[in-house]
Structure 1
Amino acid sequence: MSFFEENCPEMDRYLENHASSEPEILKRLRKETFQKTTQPHMISGYQQGRLLTILSKMMQPENILEIGTFTGYATLCLVEGLKKDGKITTLDVNEELAYLPKKYFAESEFSQQIDFRIEDAKEFLKNTNKVFDLVFIDADKENYVEYFELIKPRLKSGSVVLFDNVLWYGKVLEENPKQKSTQMIKQLNEMVAKDEDFENLILPLRDGVNLLRKK
């Protein structure tokens, strides 16, 4: 949940009302996510989805990697900007929920470009030779630092990486956090800021997005 959603819902509605509308398939997916999942807040929000789509369309990537599919909302946003022969690989470990993204991926006009896998992202990154133009990571926060280390060799100059939830409901301001996820997110943000191979900016969109570009 974003600061505005919690503290100023009117502003949040204003922002949504003055952004490009989401495709009908995303509206239906968002609705079903709230109807059928126990943690619907995990879905990428309206504004974040539009950011992912615009960024993807600007870059026109050939290879996208997504770590953390959930119900596939962000996947369907990212795939809109792929080159015609491009591919998005999206990874998750939740087999019980897999039916939902599969349903909407099959309905999508981009279905042939989506490679949905129930697979551990760390193992995938250790065994793939692919180089990715665009990476979106919205998964288990305890592994964010390891994901960053594993993804670096799979990038080229100009590749873009986005880490979601990097403000972690404001918990990153805690000096000595006890929660492991908070510790790892703080460590990631510090590592990224100091890594001379990247330039980055944390966007205060929803729960924070760390936007990185490989130099």
Structure 2
Amino acid sequence: MRSIEDYIIEHIDEEPQLLSQIYREAHVKLLHGDMSSGHLQGRLLKMLVQMIRPSRVLEVGTYTGYSALCIAEGLEDGASLETIEIDDEMEDIIRENFSRSSYSDKITLIIGDANEVVLDYEDSTFDLVFMDGNKRDYWQLYEKILPKVKQGGFILADNTLWHGKVLEKPKSNDWQTKGILEFNTHLKSDNRVEKVILAVRDGLTLIRKK
């Protein structure tokens, strides 16, 4: 039986061939292939970038580079993306995927801990941040990122519905679900920003800095 997402995918722009290959390879070769962005979210990211028209973008959590390539696809000439990945074992895969794309010149890959890397940026640096890092300390990471976003800029926080687990009481050792719940609660009361959660894939929160 087809799902609503199946129907949506049938009625939106096709997934570029390279991204389709990267997505399949992630599910075949990697233990956590489901961490990769997919067709629907990828097309949404591209369009959001085209709407926002950022000059400088930051991504936290590169994984295979799928989402980075979607963001880069939406960038205007002269705009750039910096993407941070903590897992150095992913570096060769990421660089290979970027090298297969015509957008590689727009992307800078940084291997390191985003909690440390973002502190090196000056305030009001980025027009847009795509946040897809460790869910355990999501709100703490958000607090480090927010000053680096320009007034009127955006943060896109991924996985904020977390497989629907946000509706349940988390188990005592389920630190990732607890992290998402803490982030959502923290964000709700943050008057420095406007926010809305989209029920797309695993939840995507759009945040605009006032």
C-alpha distance in structure 1 between counterparts of 2:79 and 2:122, whole Å: 16
Q: CA deviation at 1:177?
A: 4.8
Q: State the match for 1:43 in structure 2.
A: 36
Q: What is the identity percentage for the equivalent residue pairs of Structure 1 and Structure 2?
A: 37
C-alpha distance in structure 2 between counterparts of 1:139 and 1:153, whole Å: 17
Superposition TM-score, scaled by structure 2 size: 0.93
The SS at the match of 1:109 is coil
Task: Tell me how large the CA RMSD over aligned residues is.
Answer: 1.5
Q: State the match for 1:65 in structure 2.
A: 58
Question: 5 Å matches for 1:146-161?
Answer: 146-161=140-155
Unmatched 5+ stretches in structure 1: 1-7
Judge conservation of contact 1:76–1:105 (CA < 8 Å) in 2: yes
**What code does the residue aligned with 1:85 have?**
G
C-alpha distance in structure 1 between counterparts of 2:41 and 2:116, whole Å: 28
C-alpha distance in structure 2 between counterparts of 1:81 and 1:189, whole Å: 27
Judge conservation of contact 2:81–2:108 (CA < 8 Å) in 1: yes
Q: CA deviation at 1:165?
A: 1.0
C-alpha distance in structure 2 between counterparts of 1:152 and 1:11, whole Å: 34
**What code does the residue aligned with 1:71 have?**
T
**What code does the residue aligned with 1:128 have?**
Y
Describe the superposition over 1:35-58 as per-residue Cα deviations: whole angstroms up to 9, x where unpaired: 211111000121111110000011
Report the CA distance shift for 1:48/1:153 in structure 2 as closer, same or farther (over 3 A).
same
**What code does the residue aligned with 2:136 have?**
E
Q: CA deviation at 1:171?
A: 1.8
Q: CA deviation at 1:12?
A: 2.1
Q: State the match for 1:14 in structure 2.
A: 7
Judge conservation of contact 1:193–1:199 (CA < 8 Å) in 2: no
Q: State the match for 2:128 in structure 1.
A: 134
**What is the aligned counterpart of 2:179 among 165, 179, 184?**
184
C-alpha distance in structure 2 between counterparts of 1:59 and 1:113, whole Å: 17
Describe the superposition over 1:39-96 as per-residue Cα deviations: whole angstroms up to 9, x where unpaired: 1100012111111000001112111111110000000000112231111011112122
Q: CA deviation at 1:100?
A: 1.5
Q: State the match for 1:93 in structure 2.
A: 86
**What is the aligned counterpart of 2:16 among 18, 23, 45?**
23
Q: State the match for 1:5 in structure 2.
A: none
Unmatched 5+ stretches in structure 2: none
C-alpha distance in structure 2 between counterparts of 1:68 and 1:171, whole Å: 21
Judge conservation of contact 1:59–1:81 (CA < 8 Å) in 2: no
Alignment size in residue pairs: 208
**Moved runs in structure 1, 4+ residues, more than 6 A?**
none
Report the CA distance shift for 1:34/1:156 in structure 2 as closer, same or farther (over 3 A).
same
Superposition TM-score, scaled by structure 1 size: 0.91
C-alpha distance in structure 2 between counterparts of 1:65 and 1:144, whole Å: 16
C-alpha distance in structure 2 between counterparts of 1:175 and 1:24, whole Å: 40
